Amino acid sequence: MIKSIAKECKIIFRNSGVVLILILAPLLYATIYSSCYAKQVLESVPIAVVDHSHSSSSRELIFRLNASPYLSTKYSAADIEEAKMLFYSGKVYGIVYIPKSYDSSLLLSEQAKVSIFCDASYFLMYRQVFQGFVSVISSINRDRSSGEAITFESHNLFNSYLGYGTFIMPAILILVLQQTLLMGIGVVGGIYSRKGLYRGGNALQTLISKTVVYGAIYALIASYILVIHYRIFGYPINGSTLSCIAVIAPYLLSVILLATTISTLFKREESAIICTLWTSIPTLLLSGASLPPEAIPHWMYIVGKILPSSSAIPAYIRVQSMGATTADVYKEIGVLWILVAIYGTTAFIALKKRMPGRTTKSRTSNLLPYDNRHTLL
Amino acid sequence: MRQFTISFNDEIKRIASDKIYCALLFILPAISLLFFVCYFSGDSIRELPIVVVDNNKSTLSRKLIEMIDATSCARVDYIAASSDEAFSIIRKGRAYAAVIIPHSFQADIITNTPTKVALYNSGVNISTNGFIAKDIQSVVATFSAGIELQRGVPFAKIMAVGFDKHILFNPYLSYTYYLSPCFMPMMITIFTMLATAYAIAQREGREICTLLGRIFPTTLTMWIFAAIMLIFLFRVLGVPLKGSKWIVLLSTLLLVTVYQAIAILFTALTHNRHLSLSLGGGYSVLAFTLSGLTFPTMAMFPILKFVSHLFPFTFYMKIMVDQAIRGTSGNSATDIGYMSLFLLLPILVRKRL
């Protein structure tokens, strides 16, 4: 067994390409993606104001719009045509039009009307412009009314300032572990095929040694990403360590076993890269972390559950961001253990096919240096 | 030209005899296109489950719950006995938000005392958060205004400033319109990058014509896939094409060609198929985030804003948004010009080819 573990380690650490994918890539991806979203909140989105009222009331409205953290009344346009020009040239992402009658309506105790034009081609821009505008109008209405019958209080749970990084990064970090494992173990599978290393081996021993080696490496990488990296970038840490382990342990195990199964199909290293690299975005979309499950065709969401990330991402987010307990995510943990059982079996069968055992070795000794009958790609 | 033809024919034979090459050029792009077509044919975000804690259990509180349930984005799935129970339901992943109605809700309204309704909205998904917040805020405001009108408060006193909202370019806030015009081309760029690197890395014969002959089957295949993708995008998924279809087609074909130029650069720099595939693939995947479609580059660190220009996909994304969704000429000509600059990259490494 120790020999088998040593053999796996030798393949990994003697091949710079494998080290790059298995060890450097998760750290690099985690850092680059987190850096992109590090500022978390989009602030001071430029908007144009067309003020035809030119009154103290309209100036107050513009002042309040500019004071909103989401908006910046960077441009003052003479008319709507000029504002449109700014809008279409991408200089502003919203237009506020204050009509001539704004001030007089307020003085005559009539409702004053303002128009807002938001650019919905970039959702985050739209959201900030609209949210900023609505909160300013609401505050003006509150100041001018004798008191609302019902006050609306809105609290954002688990991500109080609605940071984009806090929203998407936990999902990406969990996904990176899966994708780099799939690719890395796949590349090692390609090396096994190319060098004929499957011959004469013991399937069970190889399976256990692979699980131990990749499990150990990824326990370290996952610990770095989910503990140190999480703290560096300030992602929420609300779950207990035990609950996190209860999700991550079956997740890594199921990914390693799935990757081992797939890796037996590869004839060469590059086959693994080609077959797994493109799957990152579809896999993220199927997890329901980006678009909610309600927006995904139901059959796709269900079929997506064959991927460990589809259960681990929502479970880990609920544990770590929302402070859920192990009992709260028992269903996802259950699915992950079922996947461990399924992929454990498939990995064993696949390896057994590639490693017919010692008796077969003597019979196949006259074959080519390595036997690729069972490889697909 | 003869060398080009010979190498082109050799490459066709290689494709026919190499299963992984074949998969990379035909099967995997087809699967990914179908995936996105099916994925984006789903519903828009609506009927998101929420939980209500009705501490009042009165006619008025029931009326408010009915109004919340009738909104397009929120659906009242649970009535919890306490806020703890409601938060527990959220933690279990069964609801996205909790609305809490106070004990004195009806009594306060009858006695003309201000009361409040609280929304506790999960922020772990900012998309669901936005949709729920918008609908519930508007329901509570309408409910409150209705009560004040009944009390005889003039409308202008309830809402001194009203507003007309104009959501331009994507009025239904469709995620299909928003994401698919960029996700689908990005998949094409990944396959183009991988196939080109696979075609040329670690192979003998580095004359320009030989090289072009080798990558041309990938060019043709990905151009065809790009055209099919545009048909799926605008005809099947119904994404609007408000601008010029020719600019969209030209820039998509250019995108494929530009990614081939970048693949040549990676291959020349690494001289290793394995490494050029890994680096090229990683570069293609990162392009989406750095394009700024989901999280605008204006909110990123200045260095990353600069780095985003090292990805032709950033310019392509702007062209797609301007031409397809906005229908404005924008700066498409400039963006196409920037994209074309990437075609010059192989010249920089011609000695290493």
What pLDDT digit, counting tens, does each position of A257-309 carry? 999 999 999 999 999 999 999 999 999 999 999 999 999 999 999 999 999 99
Closest CA relative to residue B179, chosen from B127, B114, B144? B127
Average pLDDT over residues A164-185: 97
**pTM of the full structure:** 0.93
Which residues in chain B have their CB less than 8 angstroms from residue A176's CB?
A: none
Q: Report the distance separating Cα A161 and Cα B26, nearest Å.
A: 45
The domain tally of chain B equals 2
Whether residues B52 and B34 fall in one domain: no
Find the CB nearest A152 among B137, B186, B278. B137
- The interface residues of chain A toward chain B in range 222-251, judged by CB-CB distance below 8 A, are none
Secondary element (H or E) of residue B337: helix B332-341
Give how far A122 is from chain B: nearest CA, Å. 6
Lowest-pLDDT range of A150-159, B35-44, B130-139, B177-186: B35-44
Average pLDDT over residues A36-51: 95
Whether residues B70 and B145 fall in one domain: yes
CB contact under 8 A, A156 and B28: no
**Mean of per-residue pLDDT scores for chain A:** 92
Whether residues B193 and B334 fall in one domain: yes
Whether residues B332 and B188 fall in one domain: yes
Long-range CB pairs of B168-174 (<8 Å, 24+ gap) are B168/A117, B168/A118, B168/A119, B168/A120, B168/A121, B168/B326, B169/A119, B169/A120, B169/A121, B169/B325, B169/B326, B169/B327, B170/A120, B170/A121, B170/B325, B171/A120, B172/B44, B173/A120, B173/A123, B173/A126, B173/B44, B173/B45, B174/B44
Whether residues B91 and B20 fall in one domain: no
Give how far B5 is from chain A: nearest CA, Å. 27
Q: Count other Cβ atoms within 10 Å, centred on residue A84.
A: 17
pLDDT surpassing 80 at residue B41: yes
**What is the model's pLDDT at position B328?**
81
Sequence ranges of chain A with CATH classification 3.40.1710.10: 45-144
B97 inside domain: yes
B167 inside domain: no
B163 inside domain: no
Residue B313 has, within 13 A of its CA and on its CB side, a CA count of 29
DSSP-derived secondary structure for B208-228: HHHHHHHHHHHHHHHHHHHHH
Whether residues B118 and B235 fall in one domain: no
Residues in chain A: 377
Q: Report the distance separating Cα A181 and Cα B266, nearest Å.
A: 23
Whether residues B21 and B107 fall in one domain: no
Instruction: Name the pLDDT band for A355 (thresholds 50, 70, 90).
Output: confident
pLDDT surpassing 90 at residue B58: yes
CB contact under 8 A, B39 and A282: yes
CATH number for the domain that contains residue B55 = 3.40.1710.10
Which domain, by its residues, includes B326?
A: 2-41+174-352
Whether residues B112 and B223 fall in one domain: no
**What is the model's pLDDT at position A376?**
61
ipTM of the complex: 0.93
The residue type at B126: I
**What is the model's pLDDT at position A148?**
81
Burial class, A297, CB count within 10 angstroms (exposed 0-12 / middle 13-18 / buried 19+): middle
CB B151 within 8 A of CB A149: yes
**What is the model's pLDDT at position A368?**
45
Which residues in chain A have their CB less than 8 angstroms from residue B282's CB?
A: 25, 28-29
CB contact under 8 A, B277 and A281: no
Q: Report the distance separating Cα B353 and Cα B351, nearest Å.
A: 6
| Residue where a domain terminates, one of B90, B124, B158 | B158
Find the CB nearest A121 among B24, B169, B304. B169
Burial class, B253, CB count within 10 angstroms (exposed 0-12 / middle 13-18 / buried 19+): middle
Pairing of strands A71-77, B161-168: unpaired
B221 inside domain: yes
Give how far A57 is from chain B: nearest CA, Å. 11
Whether residues B121 and B235 fall in one domain: no
CATH, domain A45-144, list 3.40.50.620, 1.10.10.10, 3.40.50.970, 3.40.1710.10: 3.40.1710.10
Which residues in chain A have their CB less than 8 angstroms from residue B295's CB?
A: 36-37, 42, 124, 164
Average pLDDT over residues B2-21: 93
Average pLDDT over residues B321-332: 86
B166 inside domain: no
In sequence order, the β-bridge partners of residue A95 are: A48, A117
Whether residues B144 and B102 fall in one domain: yes
